[in-house]
Structure 1
């Protein structure tokens, strides 16, 4: 391979399309000898689209990585990358804290497409080599991109031979990349088009708002009609609810809360500081405020007042056969019969056995040998709201309640908590 006075001298002057998936992890060669593999591309934002400034090359056997300037790239081919540097040491190191790593930042992340109200995944990135420089032009969310991402490039050409069939999204629609991102874990976001927000379902819009930064959240939320904003607010995570409500004028918040049912309003107000919730409640219709307060107070009641002692409880060395044979007798008069709780002589909770597991267990096995020791419990200080959240998260029909010493104080059935939700109070 011929080399000019500078490494960039052999770069092609005609446009050349390259997909990031095709060059990731390929060997990086110096004068015909492999020195590492391409791990990522470091880009910088320009006025129009990002430009590749460096290659991040990782090496085996614990050797430090290399940051190779684009100017030192001789040739960028699908099967290998040739670079020209006089020595390795000056280029050793890790990417700077504010470096934007293209694969790390974008690949396999979600693109929030507000125009189409869809959420796509970036499977590949289109690069364009032009006039000795390499630019980022598009993110690719199509089916052939997904095949390329998993090393099935040939199949991708058969499935979608025309690149125009792929779902390319121009980088000009991507928001500017932040600095100091480290190893980025979020999503790639398209520019927010306010005129399209009203068409997005509240559940989808909530997902989008949760991914935005503070200023973007407030700007987007403030542009919504009250009913749409109210429906969206209900779907947002509590910590984001707090962030939004704290940033909105009370004159904007009160109409949002007023359009909710008392139970929904209680859920939202329970997520914000007490003083702020009180200010909002004072501004609500007195009848609505009374209902919301009643629900909020009920949510804070302790589960210990609703537990039952009528449960199936045995010592760990109890034989399965004993419980199975006399199960109707053991279960008679009990409130919770689908779980068998295993405790020691001091009532410490050791484990739980599901009724289904009991029925298929070996007759001679002990409960200790078949019980699940990883037990989800509530504490005697837990609230009804916390119990409701745990039931929704895990789907159990009952939850044991233990004290600070892990002694079983009782069990709260699912139905008892659900009968006390806001649907009952309203």
Structure 2
């Protein structure tokens, strides 16, 4: 296939290709593709050969791509060139060994895929030397068919493979990780911040443990916290066990206090205490208070991040509170009004506040139907209240009817999903 004057080929098509010397004698067959990321991660440095005597592998002989010529009969060593020892650099990547069949992350498709083949372009440098550029990785059926039919005539393989639509990821999005030679997509913080935490959680669940841990550790604390809230408790525990206590504390501080308490409750007492010691005192106190409650109670499911104001307040007071709110602002659906004894008196849906003028009194705005529960109410009771009254949030009260937290719909969904 010709593309922009260059000849397209693939790793599967080149494996086993013959390389002959200047006199036409067989030197060996292509066994591997050497890439040195530090030099140029988009170019194949050379082919490691399986020599006619049978030797092959990383310790074998290599022919640099620049020292080759292409001819109708195959690959020929250029005049004056010779075989060289394969590089012993620990960063050396071998495409077939380290890339094919590896799982990588497709950030565009928000899923984990398997590399079936690698597409390459033959080019020439300004000095007229041969060059082999890595173009993209093939993750669809087309690449799988090429691998399956490897060894048959290239033309016949291409005719069959081209019946399938290509599914590729550009090479510039693939990151070669040393020294473990793990392969994943480059996922910078800007790209991650555009992905929903549940999508990242799905990707983590699909990855093998080493890749999963590497990806999670690459997330900043805010994204890691949001993602951690979306994964199953078993996986939460696995992800944080391998991290330093100080690192986990930074992530936990970014989590909803209720979710943070649920996470710490899953860990050993020793690990949980070590993480709490590393947290800021104020946030540690919030989480420690929630840890005292059963996870199956309203208090065990609630968050302490909500907005409650005196009933004598105004819309302007709400706007100030919203600007200063440090929790997940998207969860705020209602503003709770407190009487003189700081007991919950009413709630105002946020939509009514947005439609009112800044000087409007909160007490005079339309109130929503107030449904509450005690902090020791069971998870089942909480779910029944949400279902019966079609709630978006549920205030949790102590024995003195003081507001101690709020259960949001997403906590109830998580409760039902885990039953």
Cα separation, partners in 2 of 1:167 and 1:279, compared to 1, 3 Å: same
| Matched ranges for 1:24-423 at <5 A | 24-30=15-21, 31-45=23-37, 50-59=42-51, 60-62=53-55, 65-75=60-70, 80-84=74-78, 91-93=84-86, 95-131=88-124, 132-151=130-149, 154=156, 157-158=159-160, 160-161=162-163, 165-175=165-175, 177-181=176-180, 184=181, 186-192=182-188, 193-194=191-192, 195-198=194-197, 200=199, 202-207=201-206, 217-224=216-223, 226=225, 228-232=227-231, 234=233, 236=235, 238=237, 240-244=239-243, 246-248=245-247, 250=249, 252-254=251-253, 256=255, 258-260=257-259, 265-269=264-268, 272=271, 275-276=274-275, 283-286=285-288, 288-291=290-293
| Cα 1:215/1:140, change in 2 over 3 Å | closer
Q: Secondary structure at the match of 1:232?
A: coil
* Alpha-carbon distance in 2 for matches of 1:57, 1:80: 14
Alpha-carbon distance, 1:259 to partner = 3.0
Please give the secondary structure, in 1, of the residue aligned with 2:255: helix
CA contact (8 A) 1:226 1:256 kept: yes
Partner of 1:311: none
What's 2:7 paired with? 16
Higher RCO (C-alpha under 8 Å, 6+ residues apart): 1
Does the 8 Å contact 2:225/2:252 carry over to 1?
A: no
Question: Gapped runs of 5+ residues in structure 1?
Answer: 1-12, 294-425
1:198, 1:119 → 2: CA distance?
15
Checking the alignment, whether the CA contact within 8 Å between 1:44 and 1:53 is kept in structure 2 is yes
Q: What's the CA shift string for 1:173-202, capped at 9, x where partnerless?
A: 223x34545xx3x33324241201435062
Report SS of the residue matched to 2:223: coil
Q: Distance in 1 between matches of 2:178 and 2:259?
A: 39
Q: Over aligned residues, Cα RMSD in angstroms?
A: 4.2
Query: In structure 2, what is the Cα distance between the partners aligned to 1:276 and 1:128?
Result: 51
1:211-254 per-residue CA deviation (whole Å, 9 max, x = no partner) reads 56988634525242855432237353755313446353736415
Alpha-carbon offset, residue 124 of structure 1: 0.8
- The CA distance in 2 between the partners of 1:226 and 1:27, in whole Å, is 53
Alpha-carbon distance in 2 for matches of 1:33, 1:230: 63
Instruction: Report the CA distance shift for 1:71/1:250 in structure 2 as closer, same or farther (over 3 A).
Output: closer
Deviation at 1:266, TM superposition (A): 2.5
The normalised TM-score by structure 2 is: 0.54
Q: Which moved more, 1:148-157 or 1:266-275?
A: 266-275
Q: Displacement of 1:289 after TM fit?
A: 2.2
Q: Is 2:246–2:275's contact at 8 Å kept on the other side of the alignment?
A: no
Decide whether the 8 Å contact of 1:125 with 1:136 is kept in 2: yes
Distance (Å, rounded) in 1 between the aligned partners of 2:50 and 2:102: 22
Unaligned runs of at least 5 residues, structure 2: 125-129, 296-418
Distance (whole Å) between structure 1 residues aligned to residue 163 and residue 270 of structure 2: 52
Matched-pair contact (CA < 8 Å) for 1:209–1:217: no
- Normalised by the length of structure 1, the TM-score is 0.53
- Secondary structure of 1:134's match? strand
2: CA distance, partners of 1:17 / 1:213:
33
Counterparts of 1:149 and 1:28, CA distance in 2: 21
Q: CA deviation at 1:83?
A: 2.1
Following the alignment from structure 2 to structure 1, what is the Cα–Cα distance between the partners of residues 235 and 220? 12
Q: Give the CA deviation at 1:171.
A: 1.0
Q: What SS does the aligned partner of 1:231 have?
A: coil
Query: 1: CA distance between counterparts of 2:15 and 2:205?
Result: 34
